A and B are shown apart, each in its own frame.
Chain A
Amino acid sequence: MRRQASEGYVSEIQTSGASDAIETVVRHVLRDILGLSEAQVAGFDRETELFGALPELDSMAVAGLLTEMEDRLGILIEDDEVDGELFENFGNLVDFARAKAAA
């Protein structure tokens, strides 16, 4: 499902400026976990690599990120929905959050 979404359609995340509420929440969670500035996270686009590219994003940080996303988006993320692909890039994470929030 998620794979289709990320490959198949053009998401709203095109440039750093345009964003919807869910994308903004995901951006802000990353800002708060990684201690980045507003300008730095505003520069994230679909292809911005996360896990592996950001050394601060270890398994502890990922755990905090998931719980924080649940809290701020009012969603529930199951254990088996979490895999490496989810954190591959910013686009995947936002697509996942969107799909969960819409469900």
Chain B
Amino acid sequence: MIRSYRFDGNDELCLQHGPDTGVRLLILPPLFDEANRVRHLMVETARTLAGHGIASLMPDLPGCNESPVPLDNASISLWQAALIACAEQLGPITHIASIRGGALLDGALGDLPRWRLAPVKGGQLLRTMLRTKIASDREAGITSSSDALMEAARTQGIELAGNSLSPCMIRELDAASPGQGSAMRLARFADDPLEAEARIAGAPLWLRAEPAHDPAMAASIATDLAGWMRG
């Protein structure tokens, strides 16, 4: 079901799946371009969770998806404020699951139990976007560097890979890293040698040059989330 929540004078959409009672998961997709590449995966995960009897909310962040607000109004702190408004209006939220940059926002609702797949620092997302800018500048015969672009971006904002980022967003994103919490569950892929509490069958679809979907991965995530949320 498509719901909406009121934030900053606008209606922002929010996908709601599952029953009206019991535990309720807030789903935070990756940020920027990575979000587009896993949209199908995220929605299918929410649907599969509903099949397990678990409710979830997946809100549009201001400036993203169907949001009426331009992205250059957004920042990490604004997105967190929007999540608080969403939880107040459509919650209560009992658990949070994020992929990649979603983990940069998952502390917005306090110390709730949090599940993370491949959490990433904001600086790393920024670095990739800066690289696309440097590459397109080079094609246009302009020599640019990450340092010079960042220096200008901190005061004037910048457009990177089609994203219009405000000075506030640049500064907050550059400094953002996934926060600590008392109940965290870190998920990794089955073939990842590093330690993790959960193993997911699948691949990092957010990296794909050509967007793809993996129903088995959505099922794997949903199964782990359902078991974790039921404790």
Contacts and interface: CB of A to CB of B under 8 A. Distances in A.
B128 A32 contact: no
Nearest to A54: B209
A75 interface: no
Contacts, number: 54
A32 B204 contact: yes
Contacts of B208: 32-35
A56 interface: yes
A7 interface: no
B135 A35 contact: no
Contacts of B146: 79
Interface of B is mostly: helix
Nearest to B124: A67
Interface of A: 31-35, 56-64, 66-68, 70-71, 79-80, 82
B209 A57 contact: yes
B209 A58 contact: yes
* 6 pairs of A and B residues whose beta carbons are closest in the complex: A63-B131, A59-B135, A61-B209, A56-B209, A67-B128, A63-B132
A78 B79 CA distance: 31
B108 interface: no
Interface in B126-152: 127-129, 131-132, 134-136, 139, 145-146
Contact of B209 (A35, A67, A80): A35
